[in-house]
Chains A and B, each alone.
Chain A
Amino acid sequence: MKIIIANSSPDPIYEQVGKQIKSQIISGDLDEGDALPSIRTLAKELQISVITTKRAYEELEKEGFIDTVGGKGCFVAMQNKEFLKEKKMKTVEEKLSEAVKDAKKLGVNMKDLKEMLSILYNEEE
């Protein structure tokens, strides 16, 4: 697991922690059933407060990414594969809409944009 905190970021620290754990679950770097460090260990490692770490875990639990097993700690929850795919699709969608926005600003039309996309898509193959 890798977590990097940016103090200069406007995002609250609990959100930064949550986001990074989430993206590692979505990408598969963290697997179902993997144990997460305890709240207090993570606080110590990241040099952040216990409350902040707790909140990050609580949010992840609410969203169904992790389970807390009393006395044993936190684990990556059983993931619904469809749900994960949907999440990933959503990030693709977000990035595309960003690209569309930029393209519109530059006056690139739909046809040219589609062409650009197909070139890029084929390059990746």
Chain B
Amino acid sequence: MENVIEIQNLRKNYDDFTLKDVSFSLPEGYVMGLIGPNGAGKTTIIKLIMNLIMKNGGGIKIFGKNHTEHEVEIKSRIGFVYDTPNYYEHLNLKQIKNIIAPFYSNWDEPVFVSLVDKFDLPLKKIIRKFSRGMVMKAAIAIALSHHADLIIMDEPTSGLDPVFRRELLDLLYELLQNEKKSILFSTHITSDLERIADYITLILDGKIIFSRSKDEIFENYAIVKGGNELLNEETKKYLKGIRTGEFGFESLTDNLSEVKKKFGPDIVIDRASLEDIMYYSNLRNNHA
């Protein structure tokens, strides 16, 4: 299987933030969710992929090709939604479309018209008068209107209500009926990903914590709860981030089968959501 995105030891240095040797890949035909708290580096990774900023090290291949050498060709095959789309505010959607469409040889006007209709977007209202949700919808409509093979979205669902988020998922599922289409999207609203994502990449403080299939994650990660007396140096090794309270502790493990052996029957095991995983992995008393 071909990888549509292949990132190797990617590095970006800022004064106050470093993206540290990030590597992951996305096979063709699948969906990857990039999760992490604000400021973890999600947008930096996406900007590097889109060649909007320069990297300090490492390599990026998109569709198997170097992303800077084949930038034009690659970008024409990507549908991109930026977290804060900045369109000319005094133009209306129709004018914006007229500027953007010629850049894509595969631009499909009927698809665009039907999406605009579906999203209830006004064509003649200037962008400045759009709500954040409407701007996002406009960006999504444009990204989905040129038969892109890879959809990259940075926080596409922030500012959107749950009803539209579900509609967007439906659209993405529709797109995925074609096994040549792949999707990468970053979000901190992880419930969107619990459904559709095949792979999850968790990034914290510029570092990849894991990048693996969602099913594998849910098989190995779990919430562990129990009495504080169960916590000791040995058992703590299996926990990632511990919240202790007067009445007991709550924690996360990435090794469910070992935890069952080490802690015995006196614990409660709960399914961990992606949000739980993100939260506990980010706790400061992390021993991992």
Contact = CB atoms under 8 A, between A and B. Distances in A.
B71 interface: no
A43 B198 CA distance: 11
Nearest to B31: A49
- For chain A, the bracket of interface size reads 10 to 19
Contacts of B215: 12-14, 49, 51-52, 55
Contacts of B53: none
A49 B219 CA distance: 15
Contacts of A43: 173, 176
B198 A49 contact: yes
Interface in B200-222: 213-215, 218-219
A94 to B, nearest CB: 24
Contact of B177 (A10, A44, A49): A44
The DSSP consensus for interface residues of chain A is helix
Contact of A50 (B31, B169, B218): B31
Interface in B147-202: 169-170, 173-174, 176-177, 179, 195-199
A41 B176 CA distance: 9
B173 A44 contact: yes
Interface of B: 29-31, 169-170, 173-174, 176-177, 179, 195-199, 213-215, 218-219, 271
Interface of A: 10, 12-14, 40-41, 43-44, 47-52, 55
